[in-house]
């Protein structure tokens, strides 16, 4: 059985991941509902919108929760090698690493799409807030 510190970091990752999953699900559903091409594609495939919504919610929750659990374990490692907080969170190194990874992913998504879109920007901000700030705050 894992010790209390390990469980606290993993539960923090689970909560932060679930929070990010819910937020990005809302972002994705709003973006899809505003895009005429997406609506036309769904109507051509004859997929019911509630079923599509359920698939999106479950997929986003599973993906974000898995990332949160992995980052919870990595936070434990970061806390053991470089402990210490800062006024905005529990571990500055961990927050900077997560923010750096999000910036790289944001840059790649912007490059592939050819421009920065609000759903990509909102998802990046959600990732930094939930995984870079909320996770260490809950795990500390």
pTM of the model: 0.84
What is the DSSP code (8-state) at residue 86? Answer: B
Please give the residue range of the domain that contains residue 47: 4-139
The dihedral region occupied by 30, where left means phi > 0, alpha psi between -120 and 50, and beta the remainder, is alpha
Q: Taking a C-beta distance cutoff of 8 angstroms, is the pair 65, 14 a contact?
A: yes
Task: Write out the two tokens for 69.
Answer: 């659990």
Split into its structural domains, the chain has a count of 1
Cβ neighbourhood burial of 45 (10 Å; 0-12, 13-18, 19+) = exposed
pLDDT in tens, 77-122: 887 777 666 666 677 888 889 999 999 999 999 999 899 899 999 9
């Amino acid at each position: 059985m894992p010790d209390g510190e390990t469980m606290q970091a993993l539960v923090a990752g689970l909560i932060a991941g679930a929070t990010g999953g819910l937020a990005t699900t809302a972002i994705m559903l709003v973006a899809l509902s505003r895009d005429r091409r997406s609506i036309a594609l769904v109507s051509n495939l004859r997929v019911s919108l509630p079923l599509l919504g359920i698939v999106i919610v479950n997929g986003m929750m599973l993906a974000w929760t898995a990332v949160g659990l992995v980052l919870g374990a990595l936070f434990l490692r970061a806390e053991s090698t470089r402990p210490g907080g800062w006024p905005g969170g529990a571990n500055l190194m961990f927050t900077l690493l997560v923010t750096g990874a999000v910036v790289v992913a944001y840059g790649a998504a912007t490059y592939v799409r050819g421009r920065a879109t609000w759903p990509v920007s909102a998802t990046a901000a959600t990732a930094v807030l939930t995984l870079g700030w909320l996770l260490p705050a809950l795990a500390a």
